[in-house]
């Protein structure tokens, strides 16, 4: 059991029958009235962000949440299969627990979020950027680069990303997995 004095960024608490990570907080001591803590909380399961105010000294329940490196192996009818990089134990996760499953590629290292007390898998986060090979895109015409035009390109994971016209088939690109957008060409 902790109090609002123990609040810090990244701390995971049990609040409203869900787990929330503290994104930011501010201790406020107004000239009149009691002190309070203004927080921005992000749900570990859904990613939804809410604002909440706790009175000073309010008791909060902390949760032990662990981030562990796993390697993506394959997808089958049971779900997405991952292997622990340290113990080589294999687990299977459902698609709704993964933040961007369309960018999973064999051998990709991801972070699996685990609730230690309940031994429950809460989610899977991909790295912010991945490298991928363009498997199909229409050829761009020379001279069409005067504007910020883009075209769809299919990458080796099967996802479609909007890329600039100068990107051709079989080129390596960097993709932002949070926005699903092209970042740059990989040399």
What pLDDT digit, counting tens, does each position of 58-68 carry? 999 998 888 89
Is the torsion defined by CA of 131, 135, 141, 147 positive or negative?
negative
Which domain does 6 fall in, by range? 2-62
Q: Are residues 134 and 118 in the same domain?
A: no
Alpha carbon of residue 100 to chain centroid: 8
Q: Are residues 102 and 138 in the same domain?
A: no
Q: Are residues 71 and 115 in the same domain?
A: yes
CATH (domain of 140): 2.40.50.140
Reported as a pLDDT band with limits 50, 70 and 90, residue 144 is low
- 155-182: per-residue pLDDT in tens? 999 999 999 888 889 999 999 998 889 9
The set of residues, in sequence order, having a beta carbon less than 8 Å from that of 69 and lying 6+ positions away, is 84, 85, 86, 109, 110, 111, 112
What is residue 82's predicted lDDT score, i.e. its pLDDT?
Answer: 95
What is residue 85's predicted lDDT score, i.e. its pLDDT?
Answer: 87
pLDDT at 137 over 80: yes
Q: Are residues 138 and 121 in the same domain?
A: no
């Amino acid at each position: 059991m902790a109090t609002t004095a123990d609040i810090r960024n990244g701390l995971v608490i049990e609040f409203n029958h869900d787990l929330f990570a503290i994104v930011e907080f501010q201790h406020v001591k107004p000239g009149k009235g009691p002190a309070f803590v203004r927080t921005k909380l992000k749900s570990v399961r859904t990613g939804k962000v809410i604002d909440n105010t706790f009175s000073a000294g309010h008791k909060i329940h902390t949760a032990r949440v662990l981030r562990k490196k796993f390697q993506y192996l394959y997808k089958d009818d049971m779900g997405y299969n991952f292997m622990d990089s340290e113990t080589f134990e294999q687990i299977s996760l459902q698609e709704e627990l993964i933040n961007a499953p369309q960018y999973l590629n064999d051998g990709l290292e991801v972070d699996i979020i685990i609730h230690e007390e309940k031994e429950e898998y809460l989610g899977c986060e991909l790295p912010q950027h991945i490298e991928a090979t363009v498997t199909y895109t229409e050829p761009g015409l020379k001279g069409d680069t005067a504007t910020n035009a883009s075209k769809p390109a299919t990458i080796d994971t099967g996802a479609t990303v909007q890329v600039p016209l100068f990107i051709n088939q079989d080129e390596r690109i960097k993709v932002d997995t949070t926005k699903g957008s092209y970042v740059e060409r990989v040399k």
